[in-house]
Chains A and B, each alone.
Chain A
Amino acid sequence: MIPQPLIDALFVVFSIGALVTGYRVFRTDSMVRAAFYLLASFAAVGGILVLLGAEFLGMVLILMMAGEMLVMAIMMVMYMMNPAGLNPMWMVHQHRRAVVGGVGSFVVLVGAILLTDFPSASRPPNLAVTEQLGIELLGDSMLVFQTAGVALLATMIGVVVLASQRGRFGSAEDGSAEPPLQPDEEPA
């Protein structure tokens, strides 16, 4: 059992880490470094989730985001004019309005948090969290779990359709139409 002062200290470290690295994502010159800052922010949030007692969710978040951010870094290298951060980069639009939007949303959210009277029901300290989640996944919430799986499958198919350069009958730019059955017939 971790003592409470240590949990609080770790929470402060992870929170500041998550906020600072989250901010640095939009303030670094290199797109690849931005991806790794985002990964650091996710890892810190995963750490907070572990401190809150959701060990499985926290570790899965870190694991998933590590893979996702590597894919993201590769995408950056493919698309970006300045992947390595050799030149200064400042690509923003409507900056003042974006700052107002961000600060405004923070003020509104903090106001809502401080004014709302949340129900107080702490997690029992000896709750078997991961076991409980496993039973929930394959028990009462199985339909939700299955739906998430089908949604991921649909995503995979959609992504392949969107990103593939050629269809079954040739390049996508030429229309990829099915050839006619007879030589001088209209395409089917």
Chain B
Amino acid sequence: MTLDLVLIVAAGLFSIGLYGALSQQSFVMLMMGLELMINAGLLALGALWAFSTAGSAQGQMLGIVFMTVMAVEMAIGFALVTHVYRARRADITEKLRKLKG
């Protein structure tokens, strides 16, 4: 387990997440792609924390911030999906062609 190997795994997870976020039609699947990308960021952060910063405490702090971002993104995302569904009956991106309702 070396720094480069862990970072390459993180790059793979990020790319899968990017593919999902770009290709999926349903909002919920799209959010899964975003979550996977943040997950990859967290993994890269953990690797750099362990191998490049001599285990600095601020690195772990940044990990907590990452997890907060994940939770916020998920909660706001689902609330927006619920709201959009009520207003437009739309559950896939193709049904939202214009912002103004």
Contact surface of A with B, Cβ cutoff 8 Å? 7-8, 11, 15, 18-19, 22-23, 25-26, 31, 34-35, 38, 41-42, 45, 48-49, 51-54, 56-58, 60-61, 64, 68, 71-72, 75-76, 79-80, 91-95, 97-99, 101-103, 105-106, 109-110, 113-114, 118-124, 127, 129, 132-133, 135-137, 140-141, 144-145, 148, 151-152, 155-156, 158-159, 162-163, 165
- Are A7 and B1 interface neighbours, CB within 8 A? yes
Residue of A nearest to B93 (CB): A93
25 residue pairs bridging A and B, Cβ less than 8 Å apart: A19-B12, A22-B13, A22-B16, A22-B36, A26-B23, A26-B32, A26-B33, A34-B29, A42-B39, A45-B43, A49-B46, A52-B1, A54-B49, A80-B91, A91-B92, A98-B19, A113-B4, A118-B3, A122-B50, A136-B60, A140-B57, A158-B79, A163-B78, A163-B79, A165-B86
Q: Is the CB of B18 within 8 A of A124?
A: no
Chain B residue with the shortest CB-CB distance to A160: B79
C-alpha gap A158/B47 in the complex (Å): 34
> How far, in whole Å, are A51 and B2 apart by their CA atoms in the complex?
12
Interface residues of chain B, those whose CB is within 8 Å of chain A, are 1, 3-9, 11-20, 22-29, 32-33, 35-36, 39, 42-43, 46-55, 57-58, 60-61, 63-65, 67-68, 70-72, 74-76, 78-83, 85-86, 91-94
**How far apart are the CA atoms of A60 and B71 in the complex, in Å?**
12
Residues of chain B lying within 8 A (CB to CB) of residue A97: 22
Other-chain residue from A51, A76, A94 in contact with B23 (beta carbon distance below 8 A): A94
A38 touches B65 (CB 8 A): no
The docked-state distance in angstroms from the alpha carbon of A79 to that of B19 is 22
A133-B15 in contact (CB<8A)? no
Q: Are A72 and B28 in contact (CB under 8 A)?
A: yes
Contact check, B68 vs A148: say whether CB atoms are below 8 A apart: yes
Identify A118's interface contact among B24, B51, B68, B78, CB under 8 A: B51
A102 touches B22 (CB 8 A): yes
B46, A52: Cβ atoms closer than 8 Å: yes
Query: If the complex has contacts A54-B50, A57-B63, A61-B42, are A91 and B3 also in contact, measured as CB distance less than 8 A?
Result: no
Contacts of A122 in B (CB 8 A): 50-51, 54
**Quick check: A120 and B8 within 8 Å, CB to CB?**
no
In the complex, what's the smallest C-beta–C-beta distance from B53 to chain A, in angstroms?
Answer: 6
Q: Are A98 and B58 in contact (CB under 8 A)?
A: no
Q: Identify A158's interface contact among B24, B26, B76, CB under 8 A.
A: B76
Taking CB atoms, residues of chain A closer than 8 Å to B49 are 52, 54, 123
